[in-house]
Every structure is written in structure tokens, then in C-alpha cells.
Chain A
């Protein structure tokens, strides 16, 4: 990784965070569909970054979002889980990695089908943790399930759209 790549990564990171905190915080459809597009910061990190760093970056991202959502720890716990499981999911979805070639995590390089599958699985993990921790257990079970399903669709959709925007 050269310094140019690092700078590009840092800039993307802050763009996604700002987008989340300033704009998407106010977008909630029908009280159930939330958009937490900031997890793209974690999902789109290059594969060659060591797992320890991925986990630390996830924690930092979660904490920053927590400060603005007034939910100390909730986003951080969900993000750390995603950061930890990311490596395993990549291994599971792309078992040929390392034999054929290196995996570049983006819509263009992975193809639509594989990218959507990758984003949807990790978003589902993140949102399930997030909403159940946020509700403090299984008290609002059905409502929480509804929130999870709608938000996974919304967030994944948003991440994919932003990939197209970035591509052009």
C-alpha cells in the first residue's frame, strides 16, 4: 500500500461518516427503515489490511457514530462484531482467494452478485446486533425484527448505489 492509497482510504472514511452524521441521520422511512451507511467504511477496507487493524478501525467508527447518536457503545459493539467476522465471511464467500488472485472489494471488481451477497450478509449481522442491543433485549421482538429487515434492505441498497456513484 502506498501513501496515495492510504490518503484515499482516509478521505473515503470521513466522507461516509459525514454522510451518515449530517444527512442520513434524518432519513428514516415509516419509522422502521434506517440507513447506517457508515458500515461501508468497514466493509470496503482493502483485503490486505491486517485483521487487528480492521477490528480497531471498526471500533473507532462505531464510537464516532455513537457520539452523534447518543448511544454510547451500541454502534461500537455491532461494528466490532462486523470487523471481526469480516475476514471469515470473505474466506467463506471467496474460497479461491489467494490461489487465483487477490480480492479487491468493490462492485466493479467483484461483480454485482458476489458484492450484493457480501454486503447483505455483513449488514444483516450488523443490524441484528445493533437493534437488539439498542432495544436492550428481546422486549420489542417483532418490531425489532421488522426494523432489521427494512433497514438491511435500505442500507444495502444505499451502499450499492454509492458504489455506482463512486465508479463514475
Chain B
């Protein structure tokens, strides 16, 4: 027995090392797979408060940028209002939008208090949480385009998956005149390649679709998280190899993740209903 103790004493450094490494990897794995609120991230109250203080100073220096963003957004809103007024005048369409469906999105403004862009899995922290009605799974956008999805919430803060995250997909589509004239669609999946925070890859678009450099990429109508038509970016480079069915497309992100300061959290009020319906029919098919 005393020999055993002596052995343990002799390799105590190694044992401590192994135990601490195990704890670290347990934290990593737990953090990756579960959406439960854990202590070791910036939705921790004290860490978030510290970062908030350091961001308070930074937000003053950013005022010019913020103003510019607000002006741009105002212009966008004005455009949208005009579009709505135009739509009202048209009578006798086959398809009428149900008002409950048209008004299914709610927006809440939040401020970004922490943000990374250079890791292979990036997250943002925003200063709104459970008490402000934020829930995991809601989409996050900013005036320029898509940002990500809420991952977990504490009372006052939430942690958001950035779309600059190796495991995050956005259902998107390419919009241009040629496609609209043929009433065709080019649906694809946008996914980040892991290095450049200004570029995202767009995959699974048929290489015979008439798309070209400079076309806009927006979220598709099949997307439940984001309102359809939210900007993702503009096509920067596209190529197709002879033996491949799909284009390789590089999209320049509309969102400037390095200077992001205010975001909108999107709540789709009909999301639960839609998912419940889809879920229930799935079960019936199985039978």
C-alpha cells in the first residue's frame, strides 16, 4: 500500500496534468453539443459586463459607422414602404397573402457586446436575453444582411452562432433578371469555408442556371429562421468544372462582421406551427 502511495506521489505531476486535460476536453465537448447554459462563455454575467464596459468606449468611436448604417437602413425601409404601397394597388391576383402570414416576423434590436471572426467556429454575444423574450433558435440579422442564429440565452445576454461557423448552413437563393424572366429559381446552401470572414461559399446550385458574377444572394423562401429576401451577399467568383453538376460559388458577404454593432433578433411567430405540422405529417408517412 505504501508503495502505491509512493508511486502516486512520484507521478503526481503527470496525474494532475491528465486530470486537468480531461476537464478541458470535457468542457470543449459539452460546449459543442449541448445548448444548456454553461458558465464558461460570455453569457456569464461578469465576463459580459467587463466586455460591455470595454465596448462602451469602443461604441463612441464607432458612432460614425453606426450613423452610416442607420441612414442606409432608413433608405431600405423607405424602399420597402413604397413597395408595399405599390402592391396594394394591384387587384385580382390569384394569390393573396394572408395577413397573419405576412406579419409573422417580429424584430427586436440588440447590441453586440462581443464578437469573433477569426476562429473556425465564431460566436457573437448580444445584450438581450430571456427576459427580453429571446429564445434559442431565433434568427439574427443586421441592416446589411444575415448574421446568425441564437444558440443560448441567460437572463440578460444571449450567445449567437455567427454564420462564420463551420457547422452552420443558410438556405439561400440567387436572384437576377434572367431567372425572374424564366420564373426559375436557383436554390443553394451557403456555408462558411473557415478562413476569410468576408467570403462565404454557396453550394448545390445547378451549373446550367443562368447566373453570373455580381448577382445578389438572398435567403430563400424555404428558410424558417430568416425572413425571405434577407441579403446574404453578392457573387464574387463562380466557376464550374466540366464533370461537376454544381457551380463553385464564392459570395462576398453583405454583413461586415468586423464592424458589427447593432443587430435585429427575428422571431418567426408561425415557426412552431409550421414545424409541428411538418413533424406530424412525417409520422403519418412512416405508418
Question: What residues make up the interface of A, taking CB atoms closer than 8 Å to B?
Answer: 21-22, 28, 31-32, 34, 51-52, 55-56, 59, 62-63, 66-74, 76-77, 80-81, 83-84, 87, 133-136, 139-140, 143
Looking at the assembled complex, report how far the CB atom of B30 sits from the nearest CB atom of chain A, in whole angstroms.
7
Would A80 and B125 be within 8 Å (CB), given that A70-B116, A73-B24, A73-B26 are in contact?
no
Please pick, from B21, B27, B195, the residue contacting A31 in the complex, using a CB distance under 8 A. B195
Q: Which residues from chain A contact B176 at a C-beta distance below 8 Å? A: none
Q: Which residues from chain B contact A59 at a C-beta distance below 8 Å? A: 20, 23-24
* Of A22, A66, A70, most B-chain CB atoms within 10 Å: A70
Q: Which residues from chain B contact A66 at a C-beta distance below 8 Å? A: 27, 40
Are A72 and B28 in contact, CB atoms less than 8 angstroms apart? yes
Are A72 and B120 in contact, CB atoms less than 8 angstroms apart? no
Please pick, from A69, A77, A80, A140, the residue contacting B116 in the complex, using a CB distance under 8 A. A69
Interface flag for B47 (CB, 8 Å): yes
Are B194 and A143 in contact, CB atoms less than 8 angstroms apart? yes
7 A-B pairs with the lowest CB-CB distances in the bound complex, closest first: A73-B27, A77-B24, A72-B40, A73-B28, A84-B17, A72-B31, A73-B24
Q: How far is the CA of A140 from the CA of B118 in the complex (A)?
A: 13
User: Residue of B at shortest CB range from A64?
Assistant: B47
Please pick, from B16, B38, B195, the residue contacting A52 in the complex, using a CB distance under 8 A. B16
Residues B87-123 near A (CB distance < 8 A): 114, 116, 118-121, 123
Are B13 and A80 in contact, CB atoms less than 8 angstroms apart? no
Would A76 and B27 be within 8 Å (CB), given that A31-B197, A70-B125 are in contact?
yes
* Of A28, A31, A52, A68, most B-chain CB atoms within 10 Å: A68
Would A56 and B42 be within 8 Å (CB), given that A73-B25, A143-B194 are in contact?
no
Q: Which residues from chain B contact A83 at a C-beta distance below 8 Å? A: 17
Are B196 and A77 in contact, CB atoms less than 8 angstroms apart? no
Looking at the assembled complex, report how far the CB atom of A30 sits from the nearest CB atom of chain B, in whole angstroms.
10
User: Residue of B at shortest CB range from A58?
Assistant: B20
Q: How far is the CA of A72 from the CA of B44 in the complex (A)?
A: 12
Would A34 and B118 be within 8 Å (CB), given that A67-B41, A68-B47 are in contact?
yes
Q: Which residues from chain B contact A51 at a C-beta distance below 8 Å? A: 13
Interface flag for B239 (CB, 8 Å): no
Q: Which residues from chain B contact A71 at a C-beta distance below 8 Å? A: 28, 31, 119
User: Residue of A at shortest CB range from B54?
Assistant: A22
Interface flag for B128 (CB, 8 Å): no
Would A70 and B120 be within 8 Å (CB), given that A52-B16, A76-B20 are in contact?
no
Interface flag for B72 (CB, 8 Å): no
User: Residue of A at shortest CB range from B44?
Assistant: A67
Q: Which residues from chain A contact B12 at a C-beta distance below 8 Å? A: 52
Q: Which residues from chain B contact A62 at a C-beta distance below 8 Å? A: 24
Please pick, from B21, B114, B194, the residue contacting A70 in the complex, using a CB distance under 8 A. B114
Looking at the assembled complex, report how far the CB atom of B58 sits from the nearest CB atom of chain A, in whole angstroms.
9
Interface flag for B51 (CB, 8 Å): yes
Q: Which residues from chain B contact A52 at a C-beta distance below 8 Å? A: 12-13, 16
Residues B112-156 near A (CB distance < 8 A): 114, 116, 118-121, 123, 125
